[in-house]
Amino acid sequence: MQQPVYENIEATFSPQNLKDEIVKGLENSQACISPKFLYDKLGSHLFTAITYLPEYYPTVTEREIFLKFKEEIALSMGSNHCLIDLGAGNCQKAESIFDAIKPSTYVAVDFSIEYLQEVLPKLQGKYPEIKMMGVGMDFSNHLSLPTSIPNIQRNFFYPGSSIGNFSQTQAGHLLDQIKSSSDQGGLLLGVDLMKEDAVLLNAYDDPLKLTAAFNLNILRVVNTLINSNFNVKDFRHTITINHPMQRVELYLEALRDVTVSWANGTRSFKAGELIHTENSHKYSVTSIQALLKASGFSRFKTWTDSKDYFALIYAQ
């Protein structure tokens, strides 16, 4: 049986570049940490757990769309292509459509190569006929695909509303790169639609506090990368719904006055001061199609769930 092949795109996340990015964010007047640092091995497991929460509607609604429209999605995407899964995580979403779309090659791209090395062998064992590859890459700034990826039709897969973590400018930059790399293929994109506050609050600050643990874990990641001394007990998870910007904002709030240090630097936080960790932008079908059109996509097939909470769009 063939085994998955792995490749780390070091240029996209050299240790020094990551350190510089973190320090720059911590030194901003509004301290911030990029959401990509949420996804170390532990963070990836925590996020997987979040997707099982009944309050986390994207999982349920996206699954509903896949189950109801799987054959239509497969007809739109075609078969025997290369499926490139951006932010693959545990690869379960891609696996759920393997039988319908029948890719010849599956490329799982994730910030944590260690997590892919854990999950891909199990997936390969279930689908020995599919050539599988794990790519460790930070595609938030630059999408740099390995030359070993086949040049057959490439279909990109970016589910779960992760496009919402980017500003419109950043999202447009990523979509530009996907379009230029798709090689006559397309993009199957998951998009979270704007909805009432109560649903968003439950999803992003769940009663079991899994999202809080997921968010707080970023401080441990930062400690590892820049040798800082954040104590997770000094902060709490909090969210804001920003209606003018149509997004949910995630923060870590200092519970007391605290000073954090790292090599050649310190930052003092007053009680109540916030560290921004993530935005989750919400779209309408019209607004996401406009963004896709600006990146050169011209044909769309759109599916939504019964509550219009979520949308899947195949764009070419």
Q: State how far the alpha carbon of 231 is from the alpha carbons of 219, 272, 278, 302, in Å.
A: 8, 15, 19, 44
Residue 276 lies in a domain: yes
Range of the domain at 236: 15-35+196-281
The per-residue pLDDT for range 133-172, each reduced to its tens digit, is 999 988 888 888 888 888 778 999 999 889 999 999 999 9
Query: Do 117 and 219 belong to one domain?
Result: no
Q: Looking at the 3D structure of the chain, how many domains does it have?
A: 2
Query: Do 290 and 301 belong to one domain?
Result: yes
* E strands in the chain: 5-8, 82-86, 105-110, 131-136, 154-158, 186-192, 235-242, 247-254, 258-262, 265-269, 274-281, 300-304, 310-315
Determine what percent of the chain is predicted with pLDDT higher than 70.
98
> How confident is the model at residue 214, as a pLDDT?
98
- Please give the mean pLDDT across all residues of the chain: 93
Query: Do 89 and 161 belong to one domain?
Result: yes
Query: Do 64 and 182 belong to one domain?
Result: yes
Provide the residue type at 266 as one letter: T
The helix or strand, by DSSP H or E, that contains position 293, with its residue range, turns out to be: helix 285-294
Query: Do 178 and 300 belong to one domain?
Result: yes
Average pLDDT over residues 254-274: 97
Average pLDDT over residues 247-266: 97
Please check whether residue 80 is in contact with residue 104, taking contact to mean a CB–CB distance below 8 angstroms.
yes
> How confident is the model at residue 145, as a pLDDT?
87
Reduced to 3 states (helix: H, G, I; strand: E, B; else coil), residue 302 is strand
Residue 277 lies in a domain: yes
DSSP 13: S
Residue 298 lies in a domain: yes
Residue 254 lies in a domain: yes
DSSP 104: S
**The domain that contains 110 carries what CATH number?**
3.40.50.150
Residue 125 pLDDT exceeds 90: yes
Residue 40 lies in a domain: no
> How confident is the model at residue 1, as a pLDDT?
64
> How confident is the model at residue 13, as a pLDDT?
63
Determine what percent of the chain is predicted with pLDDT higher than 90.
81
* 84: CB partners within 8 A, 6+ apart: 107, 109, 145, 149, 154, 155, 156, 157
> How confident is the model at residue 12, as a pLDDT?
59
Residue 57 lies in a domain: yes
Q: How far apart are CA 310 and CA 45, in angstroms?
A: 23
* Helix residue ranges per DSSP H, 52-112: 57-77, 92-101
Please check whether residue 295 is in contact with residue 179, taking contact to mean a CB–CB distance below 8 angstroms.
yes
Residue 6 lies in a domain: no
Q: What is the pTM of this model?
A: 0.88
Query: Do 91 and 182 belong to one domain?
Result: yes
Residue 1 lies in a domain: no
Query: Do 145 and 266 belong to one domain?
Result: no
Query: Do 122 and 25 belong to one domain?
Result: no
Query: Do 116 and 209 belong to one domain?
Result: no
For 121, counting Cβ atoms within 10 Å of its Cβ (0-12 exposed, 13-18 middle, 19+ buried), the class is middle
Query: Do 214 and 248 belong to one domain?
Result: yes
Query: Do 267 and 296 belong to one domain?
Result: no
Residue 233 pLDDT exceeds 80: yes
Query: Do 93 and 184 belong to one domain?
Result: yes
